[in-house]
Amino acid sequence: MQRRCILIAALTAALLKADDIPVYRNPSKTIEERTEDLLSRMTQAEKVGQLSQGVLRPGVADPNAYIQPIRSGAIGSYILGLNSDDPAARNTLQEIATKQSRLGIPLIFGFDTIHGLRTVFPIPLAISCTWDPALFEKLEAVAARESRAAGIDWVFGPMCDLARDPRWGRVAETFGEDPYLASLFAAAAVRGLQGQDPAAPDRVAACLKHFAGYSAAEGGRDYNHTNVPEFAMRNLFLPAFHAGVRQGALSVMSAFNANDGIPSTASRFLLTQVLRDEWKFSGFVVSDWEAVYETIPWGFAADEAEAARRSLTAGTDMEMVSTTYRDTLPTQVSEGRLSQASIDASVRRVLGVKFKLGLFERPFTDAKLFRSAMVQSDGLALAREAAARSCVLLKNEKLLPLERSLMRIAVLGPLANDRDEMLGTWPGHGSAADVVTLAEGIRAKIPAARVEVVRGCPLLETQRTRTLTDGKVVVDESADDARTATIENAVRAASQAEVCILALGEPRGWTGENASRARLGLTGRQQQLLDAVAATGKPVVVVLFCGRPLQLTTVLDSAQAVLVAWQPGIQGGDAIADLLFGDAAPSGRLTMSFPIDVGQLPVYYNRYNTGRPVLEMVNYRDLTREALFPFGFGLTYTSFSYEPVQIKTGETDMASALITNTGTREGEEIVQLYIRDMACSEGARPQQELRGFERVRLRPGESREVHFKLTDEVLGFFGRDGNWRVEPGSFQIWIAPHAQTGTPASYSR
């Protein structure tokens, strides 16, 4: 067989002498040579086609609807809106592009693989609570394998936005409120998705989104305007993107927001000065969904021609879904309102990524591969580990871990046995059939016990279906079947149980995009359910399923233990049962502050000190400004003590502290390093900034000294010119279990 292959290859080469193959089709040429050759052969319509992205809607995968635009080269990319992961439809369209169009330029297919495709992991906000970027890299590698096998060449992630306000539903997709930690996760995501060679059959192109400042939406209202000044932009909202670019991300997505009145999609400061001139980003920029067109309703562009011209020249290379590029750019060039160079520069960047992805050599997905790539045992094991390590224990009055000898448990609440809700927001191609529910996980853990499951009440009390103008159904809040969901029924089950586990939270449809909330309490009658069950006097564990920090004061009053499980993915039930019964110990630490009350918002640890930091001035008359649970907080099944920070000067100055396990169980602690730059000539620095952490595992009574080098990387900041620098002066250094505790040591550099 091998001899035959060699003979065929030799014969083919002989027949097709190298110079018969157009340069752009010759893989032995450089990407630059191939790009220039192809560009020289393209018509204007074909060039603008490469800057236009359509969407392959579910159920409308009839190739006939797409043949003409693809055959004529008017479209260069599609969002794979299909719900199925069968790549057949994608390959059909690719066949048309590569064999029926004039130049045979392959399409690039994108999709929102945000936390796994079929093997659905916990949401990114949950994953960030593991403080383990290396774990996330593994998850993203599984996500890449499944995505490429399903015909997705390019995923719209990682989301690098900084979470500032839990009213904003998209905090679920972020890595929390700290730029240093978010940077580590962003870089890990790019490594996991793209690997060493994004052309490999199990890798995809990454897309850093949403560039930039989108998460600072005023009032936490999605799509709203932002007012992030440059110094804060550079030190808070840009670092995670910068880390992703340095890691080699092949694309960036421009955001919906307008910052200081300028839509990000048409921001020369962001897309040219920062991204290209300062960061030397060489990939391409895709707009967010119709964001080019939306520069008109923003009141920035007067019409589609101006929207297209100002977005393209600012640095947005590809237009997602809206068609202003295709409809207006050729004419603007011929009328002299736009240079040909602007179009050619964007086409080069898009073609460059297609070459890097190997799409010219391997345009098709191996349909046999995708079934074997989905939901594999390695991915399931990672999903269970990630879900367990994402959970954060907020309260435990000696109730957890539960005894396995328990014989009667009531698992109550609308999320006790729900499958879809565990998939969370942006569920990829996740299937409810693959989900292990909380009740199932508990039953599997204690098979001899009587586990009674009663919903008690629905997540929501009303039926509402909201449809956006573009036909995208974003929320379908179904009314619940009143017969099964009664609080009285739940109280009866509780009174007969030894322990009650309440699975409460918020609907996944109230998280993610276009899902802002003005109130952060439990939805529907869940609080009444909790209070009624608590009134039975039985021990109560609340397992909280949410996509954001919620307002928990009334939950804490009625529960002896509270475990935040976020939106845990398909292995959530087993993972949470591992924690509840002690097969694993909670190790998650919050990456986003939990407020006491919505009235405090925004609440985050890396705030400014103000000029009057005395408490009665910075607190409200009727409430403290402090978080209920701060950044970095999380309990486990043991306890730890921290000795004062010691500073040692030398070749490299060091900060150290002795950590001891003062409890009765072995446990894992995430020791955190915070700094404060007491005086910065370019602008005040936050009163605390995370700049390092170390995971230590200690047996009862065991101690370990943890050291952190006080390097420029730890102490510095981004200047207004974009350069990282350290100024000599005074610093405060904490080594602590979370942001709201510990006494800092003084240090001078």
State the nearest-atom distance from the C-beta of 56 to ligand GLC, in Å. Answer: 12
Nearest to ligand GLC of 211, 708 (CB atom): 211
CB of 401 to ligand GLC, least distance (A): 38
Closer of 430 and 572 to ligand GLC (Cβ)? 430
Which of residues 154 and 693 has its CB atom nearest to ligand GLC in the complex?
A: 154
- Whole-number minimum distance, CB 252 to ligand GLC, in Å? 12
* Min separation Cβ 682 and ligand GLC, Å: 32
- The backbone region for 303, taken as left when phi is positive above 0, alpha when psi lies in -120 to 50, beta otherwise, is beta
Residue 665: is it exposed, middle or buried by C-beta count within 10 angstroms (0-12/13-18/19+)?
A: middle
At closest approach, how far in Å is the CB of 172 from ligand GLC? 12
Nearer to ligand GLC, 205 or 442 (CB): 205
Q: From the CB of 289, what's the least distance to ligand GLC, in Å?
A: 4
C-alpha torsion 6→11→16→17, nearest 10? 80
CA atoms within 13 A on the CB side of 205: 27
CA 262/CA 278 separation, integer angstroms? 20
SS3 state of residue 208: strand
**H helix intervals, 551-614:** 553-558, 572-580
In degrees, rounded to 5, the angle at the alpha carbon of residue 409 between the alpha carbons of residues 406 and 412 is 155
User: CA–CA distance from 462 to each of 482, 523, 532, 684 (Å)?
Assistant: 11, 11, 21, 48
Alpha carbon distance 91, 96 (integer Å): 9
Query: Residue 115: helix, strand or coil by DSSP?
Result: coil
**Angstrom distance (rounded) from CA 529 to CA 410:** 13
Closest-by-Cβ residue to ligand GLC is 156
Cβ neighbours of 154 (radius 10 Å): 28
Any contact of residue 288 with ligand GLC (CB under 6 A)?
A: yes
Tokens of 47: 């060039």
Contacts to ligand GLC from residues 474-533, by CB under 6 A: 513
Residues 6+ apart with CB under 8 A from 88: 367
Distance of closest approach, residue 106 Cβ to ligand GLC, in angstroms: 20
Binding mask 588-627 for ligand GLC (x = CB under 6 A): ----------------------------------------
Nearer to ligand GLC, 156 or 605 (CB): 156
To ligand GLC, the closest distance from the beta carbon of 170 in angstroms equals 8
Burial 479-499 (b: 16+ CB within 10 A, else e): ebeeeebebebbbebbeebbb
Q: How far is residue 65 from each of residues 55, 107, 139, 634, measured CA to CA in Å? A: 12, 16, 36, 52
Of the residues 112, 132, 178, 288, only one is catalytic, namely 288
Residue 153: closest CA among 343, 297, 364, 304: 364
Among 24, 121, 284, 289, binds ligand GLC (CB under 6 A): 289
Distance from chain centroid for Cα 167: 17
The answer to whether residue 118 forms part of the interface with ligand GLC (CB under 6 A) is: no
Residues 83-112 that bind ligand GLC (CB under 6 A): 112
Q: Does 241 bind ligand GLC (CB under 6 A)?
A: no
Q: Which is nearer to ligand GLC, 238 or 255 (CB)?
A: 255
Q: Find the shortest distance in angstroms from Cβ 398 to ligand GLC.
A: 43
Minimum gap (Å) between residue 58 Cβ and ligand GLC: 13
- Answer for which of 156, 281, 325, 640 binds ligand GLC (CB under 6 A) is 156
Residue 80 C-beta: closest distance to ligand GLC, Å: 10
The H-or-E segment that residue 734 falls in is strand 730-736
Q: Which of residues 175-214 bind ligand GLC (CB under 6 A)?
A: 209
Q: What is the spatial distance between Cα 25 and Cα 224, in angstroms, rounded to a whole number?
A: 45
Asked if 165 is an active-site residue, the reply is no
Q: Residue count at the site for ligand GLC (CB under 6 A)?
A: 7
Of 209 and 738, the one with the shorter C-beta distance to ligand GLC is 209
Torsion on CA atoms 379, 240, 587, 547, rounded to nearest 10: -80
Nearer to ligand GLC, 265 or 593 (CB): 265
Nearer CB in complex with ligand GLC: 79/675 = 79
**417 touches 458 (CB < 8 A):** no
CB of 399 to ligand GLC, least distance (A): 39
Nearer to ligand GLC, 114 or 628 (CB): 114
Give the other-Cβ count within 10 Å of 623's Cβ.
Answer: 12
Write out the two tokens for 617: 């001035």
In this structure, what DSSP letter does residue 226 have?
B
425 or 571, CB closer to ligand GLC? 425
Cis peptide bond prior to 429, omega within 30° of 0 = no
Q: Where is 705: in which H helix or E strand?
A: strand 703-709
Select 146 or 288, whichever has its Cβ closest to ligand GLC. 288
- What is the SS3 assignment for 453-515? EECCCCCCCCCEEEECCCCCEEEEECCCCCCCCCHHHHHHHHHCCCEEEEEEECCHHHCCCCC
- Residue 321 CB, shortest distance to ligand GLC, in Å, is 8
Neighbours of 689 (CB within 10 A): 22
- Specify the residue, 428 or 456, whose C-beta has the smaller distance to ligand GLC: 428
Contact 139, 192 (CB under 8 A): yes
Structure tokens at 481: 């079947």
d(CA 241, CA 22): 37
In this structure, which amino acid lies at residue 572? Answer: G
Q: How far apart are CA 248 and CA 719, in angstroms?
A: 23
Residues of this chain that bind ligand GLC (CB under 6 A): 79, 112, 156, 209, 288-289, 513
Active site residues: 288
